[in-house]
Structure 1
Amino acid sequence: MKILELTDVTKTYASGELEVQALRGTSLEVEAGEYVAIMGPSGSGKSTLMNILGCLDPLTSGTYLLAGRDVAHLDEDELAEIRNRYIGFVFQQFNLLPALSAWRNVELPLLYAGVGKADRKERAVAALERVGLGDRVGHRPGELSGGQQQRVAVARALAGDPAMILADEPTGNLDSRSTEDVLSLLDELHWAGRTIVLITHEADVAARAGRVLHVRDGLITDLAVAA
């Protein structure tokens, strides 16, 4: 089963009279349960591609099917619903609220989805236990290491039980030990059947994936199977 399918997707940004084509007829298929890495230099279009995949930015032309649904035909409420249902996001900057404890950060997507208070906490604590932070549920981000903060971010992505994790440079702000911890966690999630799509500019990080896509000048130029 295909979790996502892009066909001849373009994305054009306008700045005054200038138009910049960030994606130029890009096509991509990802099967459920795959672990795919997307690599490319700065300005290659990989961040735009990630925003398209995450339903954060509309495409200019082409087709994007997420779990069989054409996202171009969804309104804002439907887009929010499909993001909550199918996608868990992990970002380079963690995006945690410093005043909230770990479990309260993790529960936020569930709050937006209308999940009841007791169920939210139960699911948030379970997600933190799954990423090895069961003893840190009451800690605020400032009381956690960078690697632990990123684990909280992964737990937040998992709390809604999404079909796919979209990770945008998730190790970009981490030291080598924390990087290994987070990549090992993504490995475990993949082995458990979760679809992982990882955006990175680091070859050793991309090598953890089963398939590596290279993006340049708005096109996927080649793909390789990781060792």
Structure 2
Amino acid sequence: MTTPMTTPIIEMKDVRKTYATGAIEVQAVRGVSVTIESGDYVAIVGPSGSGKSTLMHILGCLDVPTSGVYRLAGEDVGDLSESRLAVIRNRRIGFVFQQYNLLPSMTACRNVELPLAYAGVPAAERRERAVRALERVGLGNRFEHRPGELSGGQQQRVAVARALVTDPALILADEPTGNLDSSSTADVLSLFAELHAAGRTIVLITHEQDVAEQAERTLVIRDGVLSDRVLAS
């Protein structure tokens, strides 16, 4: 029996991003071609100025390539309107950022509900799904706590719950351990490992090699060029 083909979550072909400042052009991303399948756990690692932030913005549909093709779950995002890109960001991508990006005046549960509110999900369903997501990340007893009442590691877990609540095709984590101590870093990376084992697709962007080593596959970006190889220590 033939195994059915699945559509890659991420497919980039010769993606380039050039920024112009007056007469000066800067090539931030240079001819990136990469495929990431459903259920993969991939780390993109590189130093400051390597192009990883620009690549993250493209992966997250926060920016579009100057040239080349980027398909997310089979959809070419290059020519989409800003409104359609906003829908994709809200429903197909779960973002986890270094700064957590939680609203301090809202409880953990309300913060997790936000993507569902933007999508027009009814209040009762939002609450139910947010509670399930917080339980999934081990914060079943912190629903009504505000960010200021939580540790850094707990706040990042709230951010992961918010990323999960829309059941996205892709979890995109940008330096998710950058503000955490070693114990909280281990907790968050353990959570990512659990999510990967459950079949989630995770792309982790970091400058820390020890963090990148937790992924199944490491991609290194230098001077805007992406390659499959181990970053030298």
Normalised by the shorter chain, which TM-score bucket? over 0.9
Matched, 1:167 2:173: yes
Question: Where does residue 87 of structure 2 map in the other structure?
Answer: 81
Question: Where does residue 67 of structure 1 map in the other structure?
Answer: 73
C-alpha deviations, 1:158-187, integer Å up to 9, x for none? 010111100000000000000000000000
Question: Where does residue 59 of structure 2 map in the other structure?
Answer: 53
Matched, 1:22 2:14: no
Contact 2:19–2:26 at 8 Å: present in 1 too?
yes
Contact 2:39–2:202 at 8 Å: present in 1 too?
yes
C-alpha deviations, 1:50-86, integer Å up to 9, x for none? 1100000111000001111100121112112222222
C-alpha deviations, 1:132-173, integer Å up to 9, x for none? 001001000000000000000000000101111000000000
TM-score (norm 2): 0.94
Q: Which AA in structure 1 matches 2:117? A: L
CA distance in 2, matches of 1:160, 1:222: 30
How many residues align? The count is 224
Contact 2:73–2:169 at 8 Å: present in 1 too?
no
Question: Where does residue 101 of structure 2 map in the other structure?
Answer: 95
CA distance in 1, matches of 2:90, 2:39: 18
State the 1:122 CA deviation: 0.8
Question: Where does residue 130 of structure 1 map in the other structure?
Answer: 136
Q: Give unpaired runs (5+ residues) of structure 1.
A: none
| Aligned alpha-carbon RMSD (Å) | 0.9
SS in 2 for 1:185: helix
For structure 1, which segment, 47-56 or 14-23, has the greater mean C-alpha deviation from structure 2 after superposition? 14-23
After superposing on structure 2, the runs of 4+ consecutive aligned residues of structure 1 that deviate more than 4 Å are none
Q: Give unpaired runs (5+ residues) of structure 2.
A: 1-5
CA distance in 2, matches of 1:31, 1:221: 17
C-alpha deviations, 1:30-54, integer Å up to 9, x for none? 0000000000000000111111000
